[in-house]
Structure 1
Amino acid sequence: MATNIKDVSRAAGVSIKTVSRVLNNERYVRPATRARVEEAMARLGFRPSAAARALAGGRSFQIALMCSNPGPYYLHGLIAGLRGRCAAEGVRLIVHAYDIEGTELSEDVRDMLRQLSPDGVILTPPIADLEPVLDALEAANTPYVRISPGISPGRSAAVAIDNEAAARAVTGMMIGLGHRRIGFVVGHRSYAVSNQRLAGYLDALRDAGLGVDLELVQQGWFDFASGQAAADRLLDLRDPPTAVFASSDDMAAGVLAAAHRRRLSVPGDLSIAGFDDTDLARSVWPPLTTVRQPIAVLAERAAELLFERAEPGLRLVPYELVRRETVAAPGAC
């Protein structure tokens, strides 16, 4: 017969509750007691199943990642960052994609909580900013951590990069190279980071004493097709830009495709920069200048905050401006 938690309890001379606390790595267990329990488990060859641990400690040993149909590169980065951290904690990761336009989103979230009883939830943009979702999690007493929130950053533990400063740095670099007409492709309107990156772009223009031409600001949706369409609108202007900053790599790749189709030299005729430094940025030709948003690091840090039951507040992770071959001085090539 397999060894169970009661056997460990008897062998160590402690209560089942104490064994549960050791299994769940809870605080307030004396070191000597913890050592005695661990010795008993090793001697008995006790290997608790996730189900047994959940029954013992009232936990499901799974966390949920809530996202809204993100691009494959972004999702891959998130899972890469979470996989190892969850494995180290003995926790299963469940990915739930939601349609933020759905009218039943709040009820869907409540159903997920009832069915899975996750020990915690990690929220990505734009779900991280949806008040009904946050309300549902708080009503269920489910801990959560947000990645790149745009509202109430002190409402929960959260992690992000300084999107505004990063966009200001990219735009400032282009200005420093001599560009004066710089197009900007805004991301999806539902994402707070879209406004933050736009604000950084506008701040850099103002800091350089350049006027803001709203014709140079075009709407995108964080995907390739919208980046290509925005580039066509920009390049059809009577006085087109000499540089375009797209606020995601997917959109920047679309801008690059539009330039190639028009037989424009990049960066000789048009400089292009993106944002995120996904694998795509290194796959296109020429490789994209971009902002390295360490998506895997953000996800791993979010998991750490969740497991630590961290206090509310925003923690910033450093970004990096990555210079590659798509940006140069006007007419440099």
Structure 2
Amino acid sequence: MTVSRVMNGKRYVSEAMRQKVEASIRALHYSPNLTARSLSSAVRIGALYSNPSSSNLGAFLMGAFRQSGASGCQFLIEPGVTEAEAVEGLGRLIESGIGGVILPPPLCDSPAMLAMAQEAGVLPLAFATAKPREGVSAIVVDDYKGAYDMTWHLISLGHRAIGFIQGDPKHSPSQRREQGYRAAMVGAGIRIQDDWITPGLFTYRSGLDATRQLLAASRRPTAIFASNDDMAAAASAVAQGMGFKVPDDISIAGFDDSPIASTVWPELTTIRQPISAMAASAVVMLSNLVRQARNGGQPEISHVREMLTLVERGSTGPAPALT
């Protein structure tokens, strides 16, 4: 403790003792480990990811790591694909000394995960949730409106037979996106056939299976709206593989504007969800909350709503004359 006081220029050390310590420092050629100092004092936050194959993951990490550097905090990440992995991953993050954790869907809606973090004294932040909770800060998007707007866009192009690929049922955004689709169809006076809605899991492979079901419907859809871009890209691949021209014979639309949306051909019409910017906002919010708690204050819980925009590209067009 005496050495520490001398090194940090603190008082309460006699002049004789100060000279003795400084002489020892010179004799031993000692210098402080700046890295260790920064690690001990830095704000440390973590995140779990639930879908390692998602094309959104890269954008999330880019925004989070870039902002963590700018915010002067450490950012750690662990997998949480299954429930057991999520528990183990959060446990490792807690052991590493994090002060806060970013939870993406579906973990952001898990009472067990939120409770585990809070019981350990770790501040949770729900990322891209459709069901923000009192007492938990969150980044929120209006999935309902995004899906409503996209469905209405297809309707305005003359489509009446619009298929929908659901997202992972464990994710709160999935439910809101389907609700938006249904509301737009009902609002336009269009009866939704049962075989126009097929299950998906937000993965490319699930999009392949869902599209094959849609194209075998009793009345084939002239447009397919998938709950994310990975599944929309799969829908485009299946349709073109079966000889349909996109968008002349069938229009395809997605959600998120993840990197895959602009790397497939034709590029996907989609709802832009600014994942990188949202991740950066999450880091800023959470690091500030952790600092507030460290300083003995009460963390100010907030729900930040991010804006979604419709991006029209080459995968959608007017409904074909004959359906």
TM range (shorter): 0.7 to 0.9
**Secondary structure of the structure 1 residue equivalent to 2:102:** strand
* Structure-2 residue corresponding to 1:252: 232
1:287 & 1:5 partners in 2: Cα distance? Answer: 62
Give yes or no for contact 2:79–2:86 (8 Å, CA) kept in 1: no
2:33 & 2:307 partners in 1: Cα distance? Answer: 39
Question: Does 2:261 align with 1:293?
Answer: no
What is the percentage of aligned positions where both structures have the same residue?
A: 31
* Structure-1 residue corresponding to 2:315: 326
Question: Does 2:51 align with 1:77?
Answer: no
| AA partner of residue 181 (structure 1) | A
Question: Does 2:113 align with 1:124?
Answer: no
1:332 & 1:154 partners in 2: Cα distance? Answer: 50
Give yes or no for contact 2:102–2:126 (8 Å, CA) kept in 1: yes
Count of residues in Structure 1 that have an aligned counterpart in Structure 2 = 294
Give yes or no for contact 1:168–1:201 (8 Å, CA) kept in 2: yes
* Structure-2 residue corresponding to 1:9: 9
Question: Does 2:41 align with 1:52?
Answer: no
* Structure-2 residue corresponding to 1:217: 197
1:268 & 1:141 partners in 2: Cα distance? Answer: 56
Task: Let me know the Cα RMSD of the aligned residues.
Answer: 2.4
What is the TM-score of this pair, normalised by structure 2? 0.84
**Which string of whole-angstrom CA distances, capped at 9 and with x for unpartnered residues, describes residues 284-327 of structure 1?**
11111001110001101111111221622321111110000111
| AA partner of residue 177 (structure 1) | L
Give yes or no for contact 1:85–1:303 (8 Å, CA) kept in 2: yes
Alignment of 1:151-162 (within 5 A): 151-162=131-142
Give yes or no for contact 1:68–1:125 (8 Å, CA) kept in 2: yes
1:117 & 1:192 partners in 2: Cα distance? Answer: 29
Q: Report the alpha carbon displacement of residue 154 of structure 1 after superposing the two structures with TM.
A: 2.3
Change (3 A) 1:324 1:170: same
1:99 & 1:325 partners in 2: Cα distance? Answer: 33
Give yes or no for contact 2:270–2:311 (8 Å, CA) kept in 1: yes
* Structure-1 residue corresponding to 2:161: 181
Work out which of the residue numbers 285, 290, 301 in structure 2 matches 1:312.
301
2:302 & 2:44 partners in 1: Cα distance? Answer: 24
* Structure-1 residue corresponding to 2:170: 190
Work out which of the residue numbers 244, 247, 258 in structure 2 matches 1:267.
247
What is the TM-score of this pair, normalised by structure 1? 0.82
Consecutive unaligned residues of structure 2, counting only runs of 5 or more, are: 14-30, 290-298
Give yes or no for contact 1:268–1:332 (8 Å, CA) kept in 2: no
* Structure-1 residue corresponding to 2:184: 204
Work out which of the residue numbers 93, 97, 103 in structure 1 matches 2:75.
93
**Secondary structure of the structure 2 residue equivalent to 1:148:** strand
| AA partner of residue 119 (structure 2) | A
* Structure-1 residue corresponding to 2:206: 226
2:111 & 2:249 partners in 1: Cα distance? Answer: 45
| AA partner of residue 274 (structure 2) | P
* Structure-1 residue corresponding to 2:26: none
Give yes or no for contact 1:147–1:302 (8 Å, CA) kept in 2: yes
1:82 & 1:14 partners in 2: Cα distance? Answer: 43
Runs of 4+ in 1 over 6 A off after TM superposition: none
2:4 & 2:237 partners in 1: Cα distance? Answer: 61
* Structure-2 residue corresponding to 1:143: 123
**Secondary structure of the structure 2 residue equivalent to 1:9:** coil
Q: Report the alpha carbon displacement of residue 229 of structure 1 after superposing the two structures with TM.
A: 1.1
| AA partner of residue 167 (structure 1) | A
1:270 & 1:279 partners in 2: Cα distance? Answer: 22
| AA partner of residue 314 (structure 1) | H
2:179 & 2:5 partners in 1: Cα distance? Answer: 57
1:101 & 1:244 partners in 2: Cα distance? Answer: 31
Consecutive unaligned residues of structure 1, counting only runs of 5 or more, are: 16-45
Work out which of the residue numbers 70, 90, 94 in structure 2 matches 1:113.
94
| AA partner of residue 68 (structure 1) | S
2:34 & 2:250 partners in 1: Cα distance? Answer: 58
Change (3 A) 1:14 1:234: farther
**Secondary structure of the structure 1 residue equivalent to 2:126:** strand
Q: Report the alpha carbon displacement of residue 110 of structure 1 after superposing the two structures with TM.
A: 3.3
Change (3 A) 1:14 1:312: farther
